[in-house]
Chains A and B, each alone.
Chain A
Amino acid sequence: MDIFDVFLLEAVLNGLLLGGILALLALGLNLIFGVIDVVWICYAEMIMIGMYAVYYLHNVYHLPLWFAFAGAIAIVAVGGAALHHLVIRPVLAAEPINQLLVTGGVLFFLQAGATLVFGVEFRNVGIRLPQLQVGEMYLSMARLIAFGVALAAMIGMSVFLKRSYLGTAIRAISQDRRIMPLMGVDPNRIFLVTSALGGALAGVAACLLVLQYDIHPAIGLSFGPITFLICVLGGLGNMMGGFIAAFIFAQFISVGGFFLHVEWGYVLAFLFFIAVMFWRPQGILGGK
């Protein structure tokens, strides 16, 4: 087979676009971990809630799509703050593994709760974006938009962290948790803001994902694990690392799926992950 196959190129480009959205998923999780030192195992379930929010606001209450998007982002942001206040805060002083586990409990709760409230039927917002034809290749328009928005969100986030007072405080907390209260920063407030921000990013991801996927209560399981692995691969809490790792993973999935089955793409990505862990347990950019 000719290695410069146009379909292979298509797979590579689609992988690049997939990388954009994976990078966005990893960004929220990394932000939260970097600041609060907690991994939200239920992060993908927060996105699922956001996707249902878009569906209900747009298709059931007939709000314009943009309002539905804004509403969903707001709902998940509030959800993120609530998650921190109600669930994470009480175990902040407990053993670190309890913080991981408690969000795992939330995963069950949200997933089963969604089944209970929304039912198991697959829902669709009913927006089908056209395929974009470039030469002989077909690229997904929805993925292209997702890629663009994800990139914009990441740039926005880094500007916010570097330029605003709150962003500076967040970065400071993530560097030294104990010293910041002495500087007059209330860590609790920063944690709440960070959680809301992380939630908002999950909301943005939800808006992008409804354009590509059907919504159902277990959808979180299909991209939850991969998001954690991207974060770990890049170095937990390291945003740049997560960004790079997302694109590596996306290539594995897309190109691996091109040569073999889609699942094999995932299997390869996971095996690659395990192999890298042995070589650099702290992640590709994680320092220690």
Chain B
Amino acid sequence: MKYAALALLAAAPLLGMGNYPLHLLIMCVLWGYVYTSWSVMGRLGMVSFGHGAFMGIGAYVVVMAWNHYGLSPWIGAPIALVLTAIVALLIGYPCFRFKIVGHYFALVTLALSEVTRLIIVALRDQTGGSLGVTPNTALAETSYSLGALQFSSKLVWFYVILAFWLGGLWIWKKVDESMGRLALEAISQEEDAAASIGINVTRLKLRVTLISALMTCMGGVLYAQYQAYVNPETVSGIGISLQMVFGAIAGGMFVRLGPTVGAVFTLLLAEGLRLWFGNLYHGLDLTVYGLMLVLFIIYMPKGILGAATQAWEKRRGGVARAA
């Protein structure tokens, strides 16, 4: 069943999909991956408003390395990952050590994503500032360049991003199966009690944060390479950070496919409203989106998939845990 659905998804673009639906599909999978990355730590009680920082680092480091130093994304991406790890540890260690949780954690990480956005804007001579930047194309003569990680075919991107998405789900499962998850769930319930039974709270939290941050950074790399355009607002800052949080919540961050459902839902909602009303009513999609978020958090805090699986389990009368 699971594999059949996956095979169908993988084969879908081969069935003669237009460019636009394929682009939408890619965006769904890409944002599904990013939201999944966020939820890896978000669902364990660490609600970060700072993931825009990691995505921004991923996107800008590869583009800057390529444009200014001619370094291939194959080198740029590891640099971005190392930088992300350093930033995640620098912000995570003190936060967890000094028990900055809940509101405070959200607001401290929010500062981080704003710093990243502002630094990108402030380095406008190198980054192009608020206007954004396009990676120099390597596709003048060929249709693809493996070294520059640029492909003119959307199909290639679809499979690359699909692979990352599957990898993200696999990591989620691994975190779930590890002893650490039980400990982390205990921590998110009652941190002091968890510490008192010998759980190393700081180290466990750091590990999950690191995983989540690195995954998000790769999301930034993929986004920059696929879109071939980055802008401080679309990859960092408070806007994109909140978008991740809300996408994950709308879909349901406690279920493995929840964040992906959230990505599909928000993209289809935005595109649907745009097609329906045209571009006549600028801002309509986000207005409806904002309203739905409020309603979701009030009436369906477990998100779409979370609520659906709960209803399904209730009907079966089973107590089986949602995968």
Contacts and interface: CB of A to CB of B under 8 A. Distances in A.
A224 B238 contact: yes
A106 B282 CA distance: 18
A115 B239 contact: no
Interface in A244-288: 261, 263-264, 266-267, 270-271, 273-274, 277-278, 281
Given A108-B290, A221-B239, A116 B115 contact: no
A116 B290 CA distance: 13
Contact of A104 (B118, B282, B293): B293
Interface stretch (A68-76, A88-96, A149-157): A88-96
A266 B286 CA distance: 28
Contacts of A221: 237-239
Of listed A94, A107, A108, A267, residue having the most chain B CB within 10 A: A108
Contact of B110 (A102, A113, A225): A225
Give chain A's interface secondary structure class: helix
B107 interface: yes
Interface in A106-153: 106-116, 119-120
A225 B89 CA distance: 22
A97 interface: yes
A108 B246 contact: yes
Contact of B106 (A100, A115, A119, A224): A100
A236 interface: yes
A91 B298 contact: yes
A109 to B, nearest CB: 3
Contacts of A266: 114, 118
A contact residues, range: 35 or more
Contacts of A273: 111
Of listed A97, A224, A261, residue having the most chain B CB within 10 A: A97
Interface stretch (B94-102, B144-152, B190-198): B94-102
A176 B86 CA distance: 41
A96 B238 contact: no
Contact of A100 (B103, B281, B287): B103
Contacts of B99: 281
Given A105-B294, A112-B283, A236 B104 contact: yes
Contacts of B285: 112
A47 B238 CA distance: 18
B114 to A, nearest CB: 5
Interface residues of B, number: 45
Nearest to B98: A281
Contact of B246 (A104, A111, A228, A236): A104
A109 B301 contact: no
A179 interface: no
Interface in B248-301: 249, 281-287, 289-291, 293-294, 296-298, 301
B283 to A, nearest CB: 3
A281 B107 CA distance: 12
A285 to B, nearest CB: 15
Contact of A101 (B107, B239, B249, B287): B249
Contact of A115 (B110, B245, B282): B282
Interface in B178-205: none
Contact of A107 (B106, B242, B283): B242
A102 B286 contact: no
B282 A229 contact: no
Nearest to B115: A270
A105 B290 CA distance: 5
Given A108-B242, A112-B286, A112-B287, A228 B293 contact: no
B210 interface: no
Contact of A106 (B98, B281, B290): B290
B12 interface: no
A114 B239 CA distance: 16
B47 interface: yes
B307 interface: no
A107 B111 CA distance: 17
Interface string A50-88: 000000000000000000000000000000000000010
Contact of A96 (B103, B119, B239): B103
A141 B237 CA distance: 32
11 contacts: A98-B301, A105-B246, A105-B297, A106-B294, A109-B293, A112-B286, A232-B104, A266-B114, A270-B118, A274-B112, A277-B94
Q: Which 8 A-B pairs have the closest CB atoms?
A: A109-B290, A115-B283, A112-B286, A108-B290, A105-B293, A263-B122, A278-B94, A116-B283
Interface of B: 47, 91, 94-95, 98-100, 102-104, 106-108, 110-112, 114-115, 118-119, 121-122, 237-239, 242, 245-246, 249, 281-287, 289-291, 293-294, 296-298, 301
